[in-house]
Each structure stands twice: as structure tokens, then as C-alpha cells.
């Protein structure tokens, strides 16, 4: 294990925190301590903690789920003093390793709900951040509003002082702060959503209004919800990968982490009660993240799921296998050059052609071993966020729909959980109900269009697109993916 004592004698080539852990006080509470958070937000906070006058920005992590896996994760964090190692690897194979100390505590909320609520009401906590996945904000896919019919939400509304959801915890924490005369905190989404701060605002205020309209008005007037664009490829760490990382680092880490050497974070500078010196550690603090979001979502994220869906159907396990298939690489490059870049505004200081080249390079990094199944998970949410604007532009401009039709066909075929090699896999769709799965797996090719993933362009003239999707699904079934590729 890595402990405070380990830091005194780390293996050669492993950097220790540049500050004394004893000096760090919690200023950020984070819900959803996954790999991406540890390689992204915690990474930037780690750098900030090494600067003068920044010791008050340590992070307390909170897990919301119960069960054996959640308990083991909590035990692993606490047994290691919440320390973990990060290996950053470039496409060239060059790596650098460090121990991250920004996470100073970890609480499993179902076991210690009062501890979470006490922190949320503590004026020392000035930012509440989260990585709860694209589908975790409980937004009804048909109405676009916060879903008050959700069973867990209903329980929290009936028992507001003993919450179980992130919405219940955060709103109860803010209620206590208001009643104590303390300032509200910043609610900072780090999820891969367009205008993620606006989505968070809709979710938390939707819950608050249903609980207490006056409290909701106070939150709306005093809390802030900055939009942010987040970017770093951080794959799942299997036991085999963990063993390799520890072997290469010389550490005995229960929670080793690997990420690419590229990282980007663009945040609107709208914080209710202070923030770390992010601008000094590589974070881009801006007034508006819109152009950065569109660039990343429509280029990187959209291409990522193209590769994942196609790779799963072809029997590839990892993204680098997918991008190194010449046909899939050509598909992605043509999609970006023809369907995306002509209608995309470059973000300030960015060159779209260079950005495209960096995306292809990053996908080809074999050290990431990034799973197609992970990237293709929650496709229902990702298709809506990553493809909708491009498809709308193509339909409105009466431009070629071949590539986006193929993408839709590949997604729908992927949901069947079968690849061309005769293998099978379990698609991950956390928002699907039993009824949704029946639609997704129906032998009626038209049935899939009823999925909410495709709602974003159903008001436009879509008959030709639907026909092309059906045609390509039939080709994929009868002749395989390569026969269907529009290249």
C-alpha cells in the first residue's frame, strides 16, 4: 500500500506531493470518485496545492452507492490515506509517475450520511464538484426537465433531512447553510456534457423547487453553476493493468491509475465563494466555454463513439485497435473533414485541423488500452450530446447523411451485444428500462427510431436518414461492418 510513510522513500522516478499533507484543509467535496476525476480535477488541484497560499483546497471524496464493490473502494482509499499513483503516458510510450495527495478523505455516504451533511454545511467547503456520468442528472429525456417521478427522488423529497441522492444531499446542505447564515457553495459539474453547469443548475434547482420554492430561490440567487469543458482519456484499470503499473513504478498501490499525457480543462470563472488558483496550473478560465465544448464534443467525443460502436461490432476490445484499422480511421477522418469541421467554429486559440490530428494521435495511444465497451457505454446519452448538432446541420443543409446514418446503424446493431466473430458482450445502458431494451433489440429495424437517443432531429425531415439507417443495418447483418462503411 501507499501511505504517508511511503512518501518518505518512493521508488526512483516517482514524484511525491510537493506540500506537507498535514497542512491541507478540505475546501472541495466531490461526488463520484472515479478514474477520470482522479486523473483530471484531482490532478489540477494537486498542482494548485503546491503553490503558496493554497492549502485550503483539499478534496473530500464521497461515494453514494452501497454494496461490496463500493465498500472495498472506500476501504482501499482509507487504508492508503487516500493517496494513489498516476502514470501519464504519451503515444510515444514515454511515461511519468507521481503520487497524488489532493484527495484527503473518502466517505461512503450510505454508511456515514451525517458526515457528508456536516461537510456540506461547513463554510470551509466552498466547491461541491461531481462526476456522475452524462445520464446521472436525472433529466427526463422527453420533456427536458428534472424527473420528479424517479423513485429515489421521491424518497428524498418525502424525507429531505435524510437524503440518499446527490440532489437530496446537496440541497439539504445548502438549506443548512442558508439557515446558519453561511454562503452558498459553487456546484461544479465535471461531466462530459454540453453546458454541464446549466444541466446541473436545472437538476438541482428542479429538486429544490419541488422541496421548497423559497429555498430554491435562495440557491438560485447565491450558488453558482459554472460550465466547464473537461478532457483527458482515462481508461478502466483491470487487475492485469494494475499489476503492470505497479511493476513499472515499483509501488504497491491498491488504486493505481493511468492516463494519457494530454489534459485540458476550460471553466467559466463563476465561483460563489472562491476557488483554487486554477489559472496558474494550466486550467483555462474563460467567460464562455461554448466554442470549446462544441469543438471537443463534435470532434473528439463524436469520433470516439463512432470507433467504439464499430470496434465492438468488429470484435475489437480497445480504441487503439479501432483507430488503427485503416477503414475505421478513414471513416473518422472523412466524418471530421466533411461533416463536422465545415460547420464548426474554432475556439479561441485553437486550430481545428491541428485539433483533429491530436484526436487521432490520442486515440492511437496503445498505453491507454481504452475499452470500446467503456467508451460505447451510455450510448443513449452520448449519441444525443455528441451527434445531434452535426446531424441537424446535415439535414438542414441537405448534405450527405451517409456517415451519420452509418453511425446510427452501428449504434443500434451494437445494442444487440453480438460481434462479427461470433462473440458476445453486454452493452451498458444505465437509463434503459425493460421496455427500452425490447425496442432496442426488436427485429423491426424501424423500432429503434423510438429511442430517445434520436429525439434531437425527429422534428426535421428525417425520412431519407431513416431509410439509409435501415439499409445500412441490413448490410451490417448480411455482409458485415466493412461492407456498410461509407468511405
pLDDT (tens digit per residue) in 140-189:
877 889 999 999 999 999 999 999 999 999 999 999 999 999 999 999 99
At residue 192 the predicted structure's pLDDT band, cuts being 50, 70 and 90, is: confident
CATH number at residue 327: 1.10.1040.10
Is residue 219 within 8 Å of residue 204, measured between CB atoms? yes
Which single residue is written with the C-alpha cell 482501499?
A: 76
Number of folded domains in the chain? 2
Q: Could you tell me if 279 and 414 lie in one domain? A: no
- Structural domain contains residue 1: no
Q: Could you tell me if 278 and 356 lie in one domain? A: no
Domain boundary, last residue among 268, 286, 304: 286
- Residue 309 CA to residue 328 CA, distance in Å, equals 11
- Residue 462 CA to residue 468 CA, distance in Å, equals 10
Q: Could you tell me if 269 and 365 lie in one domain? A: no
pLDDT at 440: 93
Domain boundary, last residue among 286, 320, 345: 286
Is residue 204 within 8 Å of residue 222, measured between CB atoms? no
Determine which helix (DSSP H) or strand (DSSP E) holds 60, and give its type and residue range.
Answer: strand 58-63
CATH number at residue 249: 3.40.50.720
- Structural domain contains residue 94: yes
Strands (DSSP E) along 279-361, which ranges?
284-286
- Residue 296 CA to residue 105 CA, distance in Å, equals 32
- Residue 184 CA to residue 123 CA, distance in Å, equals 8
Torsions phi, psi of 97, nearest 5? -130, 145
- Residue 254 CA to residue 73 CA, distance in Å, equals 9
Q: Could you tell me if 47 and 161 lie in one domain? A: yes
Q: Could you tell me if 304 and 278 lie in one domain? A: no
Which single residue is written with the C-alpha cell 499513483?
A: 85
Helix (H, G, I), strand (E, B) or coil at 14: strand
Domain boundary, last residue among 286, 304, 336: 286
Grid cell of 40 as nine digits:
483530471
In tens, the pLDDT along 301-339 reads 999 999 999 999 999 999 999 999 999 999 999 999 999
Burial class (CB in 10 A: 0-12, 13-18, 19+), 167: buried
pTM: 0.87
Owning domain of residue 471:
290-484
- Residue 5 CA to residue 76 CA, distance in Å, equals 16
pLDDT at 194: 85
In tens, the pLDDT along 223-244 reads 999 999 999 999 889 999 999 9
Amino acid at each position: 500500500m501507499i501511505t504517508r510513510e511511503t512518501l518518505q522513500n518512493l521508488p526512483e522516478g516517482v514524484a511525491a506531493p510537493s506540500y506537507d499533507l498535514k497542512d491541507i484543509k478540505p475546501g472541495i467535496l466531490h461526488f463520484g470518485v472515479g478514474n477520470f476525476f482522479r486523473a483530471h480535477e484531482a490532478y489540477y488541484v494537486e498542482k494548485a496545492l503546491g503553490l503558496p497560499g493554497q492549502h485550503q483546497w483539499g478534496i473530500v471524496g464521497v461515494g453514494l452507492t452501497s454494496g461490496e464493490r463500493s465498500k472495498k473502494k472506500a476501504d482501499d482509499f482509507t487504508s492508503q490515506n487516500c493517496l494513489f499513483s498516476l502514470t501519464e503516458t504519451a503515444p510515444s510510450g514515454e511515461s511519468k509517475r507521481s503520487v497524488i495527495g489532493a484527495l484527503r478523505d473518502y466517505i461512503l455516504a450510505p454508511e456515514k450520511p451525517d458526515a457528508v451533511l456536516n461537510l456540506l454545511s461547513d463554510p470551509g467547503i466552498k466547491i461541491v464538484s461531481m462526476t456522475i456520468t452524462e445520464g446521472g442528472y436525472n433529466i427526463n429525456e422527453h420533456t427536458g426537465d428534472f424527473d420528479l417521478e424517479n423513485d429515489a427522488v421521491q424518497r428524498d423529497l418525502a424525507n429531505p433531512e435524510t437524503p440518499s441522492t446527490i440532489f437530496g444531499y446537496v440541497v439539504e446542505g445548502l438549506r443548512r447553510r442558508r439557515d446558519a447564515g453561511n454562503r452558498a457553495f459553487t456546484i461544479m459539474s465535471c461531466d462530459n456534457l454540453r453546458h454541464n453547469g446549466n444541466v446541473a443548475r436545472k437538476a438541482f434547482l428542479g429538486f429544490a423547487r419541488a422541496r421548497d420554492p423559497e429555498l430554491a430561490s435562495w440557491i438560485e440567487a447565491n450558488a453558482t453553476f459554472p460550465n466547464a469543458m473537461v478532457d483527458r482519456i482515462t481508461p478502466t484499470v483491470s487487475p492485469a493493468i494494475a499489476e503492470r503499473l505497479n511493476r513499472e513504478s515499483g509501488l504497491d498501490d491498491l488504486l493505481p491509475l493511468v492516463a494519457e499525457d494530454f489534459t485540458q480543462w476550460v471553466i467559466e470563472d463563476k465561483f460563489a465563494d472562491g476557488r483554487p488558483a486554477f489559472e496558474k496550473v494550466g486550467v483555462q478560465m474563460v467567460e464562455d466555454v461554448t466554442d470549446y465544448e462544441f469543438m471537443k464534443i463534435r470532434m473528439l467525443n463524436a469520433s470516439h463513439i463512432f470507433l467504439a460502436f464499430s470496434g465492438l461490432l468488429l470484435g475489437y476490445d480497445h480504441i487503439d485497435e479501432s483507430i488503427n484499422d485503416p477503414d475505421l480511421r478513414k471513416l473518422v477522418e472523412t466524418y471530421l473533414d466533411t461533416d463536422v469541421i465545415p460547420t464548426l467554429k474554432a475556439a479561441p486559440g485553437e486550430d481545428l485541423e491541428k485539433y483533429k490530428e491530436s484526436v487521432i494521435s490520442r486515440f492511437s495511444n496503445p498505453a491507454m488500452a481504452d475499452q470500446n465497451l467503456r467508451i460505447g457505454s451510455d450510448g443513449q446519452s452520448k449519441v444525443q450530446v455528441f451527434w445531434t448538432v452535426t446531424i441537424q446541420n446535415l439535414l438542414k443543409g441537405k448534405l450527405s447523411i451517409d456517415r451519420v446514418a452509418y453511425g446510427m446503424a452501428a449504434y443500434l446493431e451494437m445494442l444487440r451485444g453480438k460481434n462479427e466473430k461470433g462473440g458476445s458482450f453486454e452493452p451498458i445502458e444505465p437509463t434503459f428500462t425493460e421496455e427500452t431494451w425490447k425496442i432496442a433489440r426488436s427485429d423491426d429495424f424501424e423500432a429503434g427510431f423510438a429511442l430517445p437517443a434520436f429525439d434531437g432531429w425527429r422534428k426535421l425531415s428525417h425520412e431519407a436518414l431513416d431509410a439509409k439507417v435501415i439499409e445500412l443495418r441490413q448490410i451490417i447483418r448480411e455482409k458485415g461492418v466493412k461492407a456498410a462503411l461509407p468511405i
